[in-house]
Structure formats: structure tokens, C-alpha cells
Amino acid sequence: MEFWNRYLFLKHIAAALAWGVLIALVLPVLSAVLLGYPLMPTLALIGSALIVEYGAAPVGITLGLSPLFVFWVLMCTEVGIFLGLFDIFDSIGHTWQPAANVLERTKQLVHQSTLAERYGIIGLIPLEIIIGVYANAPVSWVLGWHKYKSLAFTMIGYVPCLIATILATIGLLGMYFPGLVHP
């Protein structure tokens, strides 16, 4: 593994943070402006999503955002968090020798087992459901899995939970507060 100097490390960290912020914050805010949604509820939804991930759907819906827009914003936030974290860990792995050693050892362990090498990445689906993206990105990096394949399996776990949360919120709000949810 080639090690980077400090300048290159800082450049990659800045790029990782920029991509994460662009996808998780700028894209949803720009969408809100273009589609005419209020900015403050959108920012509240993004802030909630950074903490509770798909559990933030009720926040956006009760603040008057449409369920499809809530879905879009939460998807953007999840993707931005994952890509930003994965790239930050990758930058650290290219700069710090102990992190590179851990990465190399775990790759060797994973490659020793055909089962783990072939099907281990599927474990990201329940990991996303139980713990969330803040565990998936580091686990994907440590085990040496491809970034976008790991993102796809993370989203396979995230999307059903998000849809279920949105549908449950719509159903409960429609039952207890008729007329509150807008299509």
C-alpha cells in the first residue's frame, strides 16, 4: 500500500468531507429550493437524519414535507454519510501505518474463508437495520470491500426500513390527525 504525505492526506480528507456535505446537505437543500419546499423543515429533517437515520422520517412528515420528498432527503443523507465516512477511513488507511496493518490483516482473514469472502458483504444488510450507516462504512473499509458495492448493500438494508417508517408514520398520523399528511 502506498502511503500519502500530509498534503495529499489533507486533500483527500477535504474531498471526502466535501462529497459527504454535497450529497447529504447541498443536494437536499437545492432540491427543496427548486421544488418549493420550506427550507427550515428540510434542514430539520437533515439534522435529524444525521442522528437517527430512517427514524427521522416522522420529523419531516409532521413538519409538512411530502413523503416522497422525505424519502429523497433521507436517501441523500444516508449516501452522503456513507461515502464521506468511507473516504475518510480510506484516507487514514493510506496515511497511518497501524491502520494500514489492521486493514491488511483483516483482508487476509476474510480471504482465508471462501464463505466470508463470497457472502460476508451481505452482512451489511442486517448491520444497517440494527446499528446503521455509522457502522457499515467502517466495517466495509476494514474488511476491504468495494465502496460502491458496500453502499448498495447498505441501501438494500436502509430502503425497506425507510419505506416502512414512512408508511407507518403516514398511517398513524392519518389515523390520529386526519389531514396532517400531504401527498
Buried b (16+ CB within 10 A) or exposed e, 64-74: ebebebbbbbb
The per-residue pLDDT for 25 is: 95
Q: List, for residues 60-99, the tens digit of each pLDDT value.
A: 999 999 999 999 999 999 999 999 999 998 888 878 788 7
Give the number of other CB atoms < 10 A from CB of residue 14.
Answer: 11
Q: Distance between CA atoms of 80 and 27, rounded to whole angstroms?
A: 10
Compute the Cα dihedral for 119, 160, 165, 83 and give only its sign: positive
Give the number of other CB atoms < 10 A from CB of residue 94.
Answer: 17
**pTM for the full predicted model:** 0.88
pLDDT reading at 1 higher than 60: no
Domain residue extents for the chain: 6-176
Q: Is 3 left (phi over 0), alpha (psi -120 to 50) or beta?
A: beta
pLDDT reading at 178 higher than 90: no
Q: Distance between CA atoms of 79 and 72, rounded to whole angstroms?
A: 11
Distance, first Cα to last Cα, the chain: 51
Please answer whether residues 151 and 82 qualify as being in contact, where contact means their C-beta atoms are separated by less than 8 angstroms.
Answer: yes
Q: List, for residues 130-173, the tens digit of each pLDDT value.
A: 999 999 998 898 888 899 999 999 999 999 999 999 999 998 88
